[in-house]
Amino acid sequence: MSIEALLTALLASTIISSVALTIASLGEAIGESAGLLNLGIEGMMLISGFVGFWAALESNNLWLGFLASIVCGAVAGLIFGGLVVLAQADQVIVGLAMTLAGGGLSGYLFREAYGSNQPLLQGDLGRPLRHLGGGIPVIGPAIIGQKWIVFVTWALVPLVWWLLRRTRFGLEIRAAGERPFAADVAGVDVTRVRLLAAVINGAFSGLAGAALALAELGFFRPGITVGTGFIAIAIAMVGRWDPLRIAIAALLFGLLRSAGTWMQITGVNIRPEFLQMLPYLGVIVAIVILARGTRLPAALGLSYRRGIDRT
Amino acid sequence: MKPRVLVRSVGRFVMMLGLLALSGAFIPTATIAATKIENVAIITPASKTNGGWDEQGVNNITSVTQKRGIKLEVAENAGYEDITPILQDLKDSGAQLIFCHASGYQTICPEFAAENNVPVAIIENPKAVKPGLISDIETHAEDVAYLAGVMAGKETRTGTVAIVVSAEPPTWNFMSVGFAEGLKATRPDAKLIYSVIGQAAYDDAANAKRTTDSVLAAGADIVFGMGDGASFGMIQSIKEFNQGKPVDKQARFIDVIGDKSKTAAKSFLLSSVLFDYTNTYNQMIDDLQNGTFGKVHTLDVKNGGVHLLNPPIPVQPGTMAAVDAAKEKIVKGEIKVSTIGDANGVHKRLKELFPGS
């Protein structure tokens, strides 16, 4: 095995395995900035991934699948927002309920639709820049030759930063997450802003589910996310709700996850259990080191009732 | 006491004895031996449609119970935590025999059987066997995996072959070692990559795909995959890898449990290690009815309980002859495949066989 082939495999795997995580974490960052702690990302990813897969398979159109996933995620976000913003339900309980419901419903629907069959999607949306990286070792196939979803994910990073830091709506989101009462007094419709943030959060979760099922894997299976949604919540906190930091943290997580496989391939004599523990250990260490002094959005997890709450 | 009264009392006592005898309460051993089995259950850690181990077991017992007119209850997705409440439910619903279809249940099910007096069938724990209560199934799949290794040794073009496993349970471990020994015997200069996806990553198709992507990038052209639901990640990885490549540059897949020759893998499925529990399940039900339950049952090459799927795609001339010759030697006992069930033993054996890999 050549070093070049191994490095290419490591880098390519690092990048692709960070995609869904980055997208879901960016969505969570928007939600948390508005004061919404969404523990339902996992379930939203699962149900959106299934809906997108079903739509893509039935229509033989991957773009339609992506659209269906995003819409499904947005609807799930609206349900979450409706329950926690309008009905003032506890965010933690609603989020966990959505994770359980999304996992159960996607598994049930998959079984109803396909039984014991495992259909795979035909074709993919391609690698748009592959021709540019032909002669470049490692970087060419591992980065330039990546699937288009990788570049969309990277484009979302500055876009979300711009949304949160450079737009009026972004300022309203942050105000709703820090001082909802003050924002309300200043004329911001906190309910509307939080609902919109929940919908965007859901749409990002839907896109993350589609990135996993439609772009990376080309199929859906019940429970396919295996905890990605929960890792995304940790990554959003490690990244302190800053899109660039989130992208880097997700890449580091992807690197640690891929490094485990890479070390097994190269014959490093370490027990697989330890290697598989690495990425999660990395998240814990990162939270301790990077997020120790982090100040959470002041109103994170708290509901706001106009005329009653004064925080 | 008057003689008439005495005679009447003795007569009543004799009549009572007769009634008890007719009701069966007075002849204990005979009635247990003649128990008719009308209700059985199977418990699986994952989905009964996972295209692997769980599905195979449920399909086999479904076929057996349908033919015998026995009611079957399936408890799927039970996971690997404490399954006692589920076992209790199955018992309460009338299950006379519970098939605990996972090596991960080899301790908890015997405990449950002992506490509740419900017969159970377990996997890969012969020491727990108890007459009337616990039967065990030993899957000698290492012999068939050896044959798969012979096939891989004959078929590899790059000389690099990979084993990708979703976990390291005894059944997978037996097969990993068997495959490696078959490969070594056929192609001593081959390189073997051994990669574990996770501790219990049976349904982690995403990481299975990433892992398979990596072993293919490292030069493997044959992947022996043991994954259950995770197998679909391996299949998708190979499918993508093969896109646009000429046939002689394409990677191929050897599966375990289930024939996927009619799925997306049909163009690169080299073979599969197949399990058939039907005869064993029938035997166990017969044993329970006849009062002989509580044995070790074996699935091996000789009794056809495990066998290799005929290659659905063309193979090199001489490959099947080599496989058949090895099979004959296994049946005759001329080839003894190692039986290593623990993960540490597997790693040690693989290092011995392929020190440079």
pLDDT per position as a tens digit, A248-260: 999 999 998 888 8
**Residue A38 resides in a domain:** yes
**Residue A282 resides in a domain:** no
User: Same domain for B210 and B332?
Assistant: yes
User: Same domain for B157 and B246?
Assistant: yes
Q: Rounded mean pLDDT of A128-151? A: 85
DSSP output for B14-67: HHHHHHHHHHTTT-HHHHHHTPPP-EEEEE-SS-TTSSSHHHHHHHHHHHHHHH
How does pLDDT run across B1-38, given as a tens digit for each residue? 455 555 565 556 555 544 444 444 443 333 344 578 99
- Do residues B135 and B106 make contact, with C-beta atoms less than 8 angstroms apart? no
Name every chain A residue with its beta carbon within 8 A of the beta carbon of B229.
221
Tokens of A42: 């996992």
CA distance A90 to A268: 47
CATH number of the domain bearing residue B56: 3.40.50.2300
Closest-CA distance, A238 to chain B, in angstroms, reads: 23
Contact assignment for B232 to A17 by CB distance below 8 Å: no
User: Same domain for B206 and B93?
Assistant: no
**Crossing angle between the packed helical segments A3-33 and A148-166, to the nearest 10 degrees:** 30
Positive or negative, the CA dihedral A116, B196, B340, B163 is positive
User: Same domain for B134 and B148?
Assistant: no
- Do residues B36 and B69 make contact, with C-beta atoms less than 8 angstroms apart? no
How does pLDDT run across A222-244, given as a tens digit for each residue? 889 988 999 999 999 889 899 99
**Residue B11 resides in a domain:** no
DSSP H or E run through A253:
helix A243-265
- pLDDT-derived band at A116 (thresholds 50, 70, 90) equals confident
User: Same domain for B224 and B257?
Assistant: yes
Q: Dmax over Cα atoms in chain B, in whole Å?
A: 107
How does pLDDT run across B111-164, given as a tens digit for each residue? 999 999 999 999 989 999 999 999 999 988 899 999 999 999 999 999 999 999
Contact assignment for A265 to B233 by CB distance below 8 Å: no
Angle A179-A183-A185 from CA coordinates, rounded to 5°: 120
Number of domains in chain A: 1
Dihedrals φ, ψ of A310, to 5°? -130, 40
User: Same domain for B107 and B221?
Assistant: no
**What pLDDT is stored for residue B31 in this prediction?**
37
User: Same domain for B147 and B70?
Assistant: no
**Chain A residue with Cα closest to B237:** A217
CA distance A145 to A133: 6
DSSP output for A20-78: HHHHHHHHHHHHHHTT---TTHHHHHHHHHHHHHHHHHHHT-HHHHHHHHHHHHHHHHH
- Do residues B151 and B242 make contact, with C-beta atoms less than 8 angstroms apart? no
Its ipTM equals 0.83
Closest-CA distance, B288 to chain A, in angstroms, reads: 31
Closest-CA distance, B237 to chain A, in angstroms, reads: 8
How does pLDDT run across A58-111, given as a tens digit for each residue? 999 999 999 999 999 999 999 999 999 999 999 999 999 999 999 999 999 998
**Chain B residue with Cα closest to A227:** B204
The minimal CB distance from B217 to the residues A9, A107, A217 is found for: A9
Which residues lie closer than 8 Å to B141 by C-beta, 6 or more apart?
B171, B174, B175, B178, B256, B273, B275, B299, B306
User: Same domain for B229 and B319?
Assistant: yes
Name every chain B residue with its beta carbon within 8 A of the beta carbon of A228.
206
User: Same domain for B251 and B294?
Assistant: no
CA distance B3 to B67: 61
Give the residue numbers spanning the domain of B290. 33-139+277-299
A-B contacts (CB, under 8 Å): 103
Tokens of B311: 């290659």
Name every chain A residue with its beta carbon within 8 A of the beta carbon of B215.
265
DSSP for residue B291: T
CA distance B60 to B75: 15
CA distance B216 to B197: 15
User: Same domain for B326 and B228?
Assistant: yes
> What is chain B's Cα-based Rg?
25
Name every chain B residue with its beta carbon within 8 A of the beta carbon of A5.
217-219
Tokens of B65: 């119970």
CA distance B180 to B166: 17
Q: Average model confidence (pLDDT) for chain B?
A: 88
Give the residue numbers spanning the domain of A84. 21-226
- Do residues A64 and A7 make contact, with C-beta atoms less than 8 angstroms apart? no
**Residue B20 resides in a domain:** no
- Do residues A180 and A311 make contact, with C-beta atoms less than 8 angstroms apart? yes
**Residue B22 resides in a domain:** no
CB atoms within 10 A of CB A293: 7
Angle B347-B348-B354 from CA coordinates, rounded to 5°: 85
- pLDDT-derived band at A162 (thresholds 50, 70, 90) equals very high
Residues of chain B with pLDDT under 50: 1, 17-33
The minimal CB distance from B232 to the residues A12, A221, A223 is found for: A221
